[in-house]
Structure 1
Amino acid sequence: MSKRWIFFPLNKALQIEIASKLKISPLLAQVLINRGILDITSARNFLQPQIAGLGDPSLLHGMEEASIRINKAVSKGEKIVIYGDYDVDGLTATAVMYRCLKLLGAQVRYYIPERLEEGYGLNADAIRRLKEDGAAVILTVDCGINACREADLARAYGIDLIITDHHQPGQEIPNAFVVINPKLESSPGVFRDLSGVGIAFKLAWAIGQYFSPLRKVSPEFKDFLLSAIGLVSLGTIADVVPLVGENRILTKYGLSALQYTEIPGLRALLDIADLSHTNLDVFHVGYRLGPRLNAPGRISNAGIVVEMLTTACKERAVEIANFLEQENKRRQDIQVDIMVSARKKVINEINLDETSAIVLADQTWHPGVIGIIASKIVEEFNRPTVMIAITDDVGHGSARSIPSFHILKALEFCKSKLLSVGGHAQAAGLKIHPQHINEFRDMLNSATSQRLHKTDLVPVLNIDAEITLSMLSKALVTELARLSPYGEGNPAPVFAATNLKIVGQPRRIGTKGQHLSFYVKQEDVAIRAVAFGMGGQIDRLRQNGRACSLAFAVKINNWMDGDNLELEVKDIKFDNE
């Protein structure tokens, strides 16, 4: 699908000011401006993130009450249960809190609900079982902000429920012992986009402070926190929260902590993913580590992941890591089958000219995998997508959206046809009676068609600047790397170059010829370009001498001990098309 190129407006005056004050290139300064960084201090902090830039945990409402109550539970030997979630954010948050409370000698256990049997978040049956087991305090991580009924039940049972969550609150806030959620904060000094594990880390930090009479954590606890940042980076990246502000700090330092971690479960995970001797970046977490941690929660039971992340036994950690590897391969096989089935439905059953939101349902699909497929359908067809797996007369749905469209608001418009709904602007979950799916599809399409124009359904490619090939150098690539880690809210820079000639013979590469390799020349400069997933366009490129424009990221290719500039193509436009 052809893309709309949208260029950020140049701000020459500010570009020159930032570049001269920080001694950086005007191009790097312009990319910072494009990211909304419009003053010298913000630019310096972005390029040089410091641990000291993390906000004090006490800025979050409820942190003091939660810390005092947990301190009391530890000192009295009361049973504490950490109630987590089955995705990477929830699992790492659970591991951080469990390791924290174990370090303090607490009577603590964790509870991870089963995706297929219990669904997301707190549920009444689990609370009853935890009460019977003697729980005095239930601490949620990455869930609970909309669990009003369950909070009332916990209170009736005499359980102190501490909710920590980062999801969007509803109109009613649960009547829990305390609720910690940065999205409830109005103070400009509070960073509101923390992940679930980011909030757990802040709570662990606050607990460490309250256990010290000087409000300064002990050296042992400081070592724990610095080690835990590795876990925080995993959950933060995997949950696709904006990698700006405090998330940028936690991710930047967390990736380093992860690379050199001594936590047995993380070392075993890095080994099984063949990443033990790699400089870790966001890609490795998103595509190599995250899927392995997510796999059991998608197709079996995620609790074993927390065991791996908290065990002191290296042999057990390796055993679980091997299990995760097998579960991930099983997940991949299931995913391939569902993807083929879903694409057929889109192509054969949907008129895309008349459809602004794609809703697909099937009784053979696995509920744990459909969220991944929904993302891929959005990527290919550029429409908000809901995938529904029907099991036992209930449809379990996962929704994903295009960047410009708030899917949760659209789903809430359709609430009358849904059993439940919750999530974020770009990703949400729902339950629905199968007999209501057709009405829901019509209602969602009505809602999306009113808010989306035809142009919104054409994928957008944001271009940081138009440049010439002569501007590119290894030094520039090194300088631009200061913008990393890249992710949501801070994408890798994309540039455009025009009036290029394709030279030599383009060729297909990859095991199935799915990618392209070719050279482009502009005046006296020629550079290799690689276009992933564009193998089918080779005939267009082979018409030698054709003039084109490229949108690309620029990289250094170190393959086979080489050290060459390379363009990673995002889109191609031919001048005569």
Structure 2
Amino acid sequence: MQANAVWKMRNFCEKSANNLKKELGINKMLAKILVARGIKELNQAQKFLSPSLADLPDPSGFKDMDKACKRIYNALLDKQVIGIFGDYDVDGVTSVCILQEFLTSLGAKVAIVIPNRLKDGYGLNKNGIDELYAKNAKIVVSVDCGITNHEEIDYAASLGLEVIVVDHHTVPVNFPKACAVINPHRDDCTRGAEHMCAAGVVFNLCIALRRYLRTQNYFTQIAEPNLKNLLDLVALGTVADVMPLINDNRIFVQKGLEIVKQAPRPGMRALLRVANVDAKKISSGTLGFHIGPRINAAGRLNSAMDAVELFSTKEFSRALQKAEFLDEQNQARREIEKQILQEAKEQIESFENHRSTKAYVVANESWHPGVVGIVASRLVDIYGKPTIVIGKGGKGSGRSIPAFHLHNALMAVSKELIGFGGHAHAVGVLANLNNISSFRHALANYAENTLTDSSLIKNIFYDSEIAIEEVTKSLIESIKKAAPFGRGNPEAVFRINNIQAANVRVLRGGHLKGNIADKLGLSFIAFGMENKESLFKKPLDMLFVPEINEYNGYQSLQLRVRDVAEFKG
């Protein structure tokens, strides 16, 4: 199992925190939290605490944005069918739905194709192009994919189809020969949107296109669409793709959550119902842990078009049917994941010297390739080591730790693989199942020469030490002003030393629940910490996120435990 984590307090400037506290009239702890996240200037803090759509930068900074707008405008004038090809994950689905809804509101005829993960694999493919061609599409907009699909885009051109690429993945040395290539990672893109997912880039395309249509007097005969109503989907794509919640991403998610709370979209309302989530209490965490997995389940086990139909329908009864189906798919995914995770753990722990091995490769022909990525993430959480999980057909996924660039590692051992792609922390691989042992040893040797023992130790950052008496509803309400939380803007974590737990019990799923001994009205929940139950019988130090727990209409203070350690005095 992973070594104990190292606890580190976030650095912050006392003077800057005092200035923000005074100028903004906010709680000192909130000021400290902001400064620890790099929010030090008054104007910067004001925009952070009160995100506004007016602060979104000009989308014309995206290279080729003008080309894309003009080509789509001509398609609208000529009544051409506009094809949309998207990826099968949440970012791809939301990108497809955003563009479909916007173009349809402009009077466009739209045709959609999303590949099947198991049959087609990732990216723009010839079968999808053929399907859109058969539906009389004249242009194709590829969203959340396409940046590396040179051959497929050339094939589309041979059929007379022009392709607009809207992607956010790492760009190759040479771009495909598309009509327009919109990608924030282009060297000549001045928008400053490298932190954005495809849904965010697509939303920028919608902003730019609407602006261009205004200059062409397009809205004299048709109502101008309200783009704000698309932000629920932009927020979902941003959170589910684990984008940093900074700059415009923060605006997208904060405003998108407001739209979700108003619950105008039948598909989102239906998802919240099957997930048993109150729309009024939705957070970025809800999108990431309750809504995103149900959308992802569609593409993992079946067809992502089910999720597109869910978000597109105007009828709640139809949306509820789709949401219930996706919920069933997600339950099935969880059962499959649970089984594979158990088998993968047994495989790892059967390896000779597995405790000293610094990277793992596990494989089984029976494992569902649509779930191996999630299992890889779970294994990294458990063991704290880079892990690649390979399933049926040699299709696999890998996840890593901050200290290990997984894509670079695969480049170093590429002769052991049929193919691979990805980035520092996540990769996809295609391997020969008869060559797994050789691949496993090659990756382990590379990791041994790259990683130190200390780099395998996880760091957990906290914001401040506090006394138990300081955990109040007032503190929690103050901290909420820094939401939405996520990558790039982590939840505020606090440390309390030398406390005693009481009434500790193990819940289903391996979670621990109990109270703080000298403050029995204060409970705690420690998810997945059944293996640390013995520590809770002694005086301990605790890292936690304070929150309001609501049960049967009753609110109480609760500590959501991040980690515990024996109190040493």
Match of 1:23 in 2: 25
Q: Which residue is 2:414 aligned to?
A: 415
The separation in 2 between residues aligned to 1:440 and 1:322, in whole angstroms, is 41
Q: Secondary structure at the match of 1:489?
A: coil
Shift in alpha-carbon separation, 1:217–1:344, aligned structure 2, 3 A: farther
- Map residues 73-88 of structure 1 onto 2, 5 A cutoff: 73-88=75-90
Q: Is the 8 A contact 2:80 2:138 kept in 1?
A: yes
Describe the SS at the equivalent of 2:139: strand
CA distance in 2, matches of 1:267, 1:299: 23
- Secondary structure in structure 1 of the residue aligned to 2:215: coil
The residue that corresponds to 2:499 in the other structure is 501
For the residues of structure 2 that align with 1:262 and 1:200, how far apart are their CA atoms? 21
Paired residues of 2:8 and 2:459 also in contact (CA < 8 A): yes
The one-letter code sitting in structure 2 at the alignment partner of 1:257 is: I
1:47 aligns with 2:44: no
Distance 2:517 2:223 in 1: 55
Q: List per-residue Cα deviations over 1:124-151 (Å, max 9, x = no partner).
A: 3332443344332110111111112222
**Bigger CA drift: 483-492 or 255-264?**
255-264
SS at match of 2:389: strand
Deviation at 1:70, TM superposition (A): 0.6
More displaced stretch, 260-269 vs 183-192: 183-192
Secondary structure of 1:439's counterpart equals: helix
Q: Distance in 2 between matches of 1:529 and 1:308?
A: 37
Other-structure match for 2:512: 515
- Displacement of 1:345: 0.8
Q: 1:203-214 alignment to 2 at 5 Å? A: 203-213=205-215
Q: Distance in 2 between the 1:194 and 1:69 partners?
A: 24
Instruction: Name the residue aligned to 2:401.
Output: 402
**For the residues of structure 1 that align with 2:253 and 2:194, how far apart are their CA atoms?**
16
**C-alpha root-mean-square deviation of aligned residues, in Å?**
2.4
Deviation at 1:116, TM superposition (A): 0.4
| Cα distance change on mapping 1:216 and 1:410 into 2, 3 Å | farther
Q: Deviations over 1:85-115 (max 9, x none)?
A: 1111101110111111111121211000000
Deviation at 1:190, TM superposition (A): 2.0
Q: 2-side partners of 1:57 and 1:219: how far apart?
A: 25
Q: Give the aligned length.
A: 567
Residue 215 of structure 1 deviates from its aligned partner by: 8.5
Aligned CA distance change for structure 1 residues 273 and 540 (closer, same or farther; 3 Å): closer
Q: Using the TM superposition, give the Cα deviation of residue 204 of structure 1 relative to its aligned residue in structure 2, in angstroms.
A: 1.5
Q: 2:559 aligns with which of 548, 567, 576?
A: 567
Alpha carbons 1:89, 1:197 under 8 Å: kept: yes
Q: 1:443 to 1:209 in 2, by over 3 A?
A: same
So what's the TM-score if we normalise by structure 1? 0.92
Structure 1 partner of 2:113: 111
**Aligned AA (1:508):** R
* CA distance 1:557–1:276, change in 2 (3 Å): closer
TM-score by length of 2: 0.93
Residue 530 of structure 1: CA displacement? 2.8
- 1:114-513 equivalences under 5 Å are 114-185=116-187, 190-213=192-215, 224-349=226-351, 351-391=353-393, 395-498=394-497, 500-502=498-500, 505-511=502-508
Q: For the residues of structure 2 that align with 1:95 and 1:249, how far apart are their CA atoms?
A: 20
What is the CA distance between 1:210 and its match in structure 2?
Answer: 1.7
How many angstroms does 1:3 deviate by?
1.1
- Aligned residue number for residue 100 of structure 2: 98
Once residues 522 and 329 of structure 2 are traced to their aligned partners in structure 1, the CA distance between those partners, rounded to angstroms, is 41
- What is the CA distance between 1:397 and its match in structure 2? 1.1
Q: Is the 8 A contact 1:298 1:368 kept in 2?
A: yes
2: distance between equivalents of 1:222 and 1:237? 28
* Residue matched to 2:536: 541
On the 8 A contact 1:19/1:26 being kept in 2, the answer is: yes
Query: Alignment identity in percent?
Result: 33
Does the 8 Å CA contact 1:209/1:217 hold for their aligned counterparts? no
Change (3 A) 1:100 1:353: same
Structure 1 residues 377 and 315: CA distance shift in structure 2, 3 A: same
Q: Whole-Å Cα distance in 2 between the matches of residues 152 and 486 of structure 1? A: 42
Residue identity matched to 2:397 = S
Q: Secondary structure at the match of 1:430?
A: strand
Deviations 1:32-75 (A, max 9, x none): 22212232222221111111111222121111110110110111
Amino acid at match of 1:517: G
Cα distance change on mapping 1:259 and 1:10 into 2, 3 Å = closer
Q: Aligned partners of 1:77, 1:529: CA distance in 2, in Å?
A: 60
Shift of 1:516: 3.2
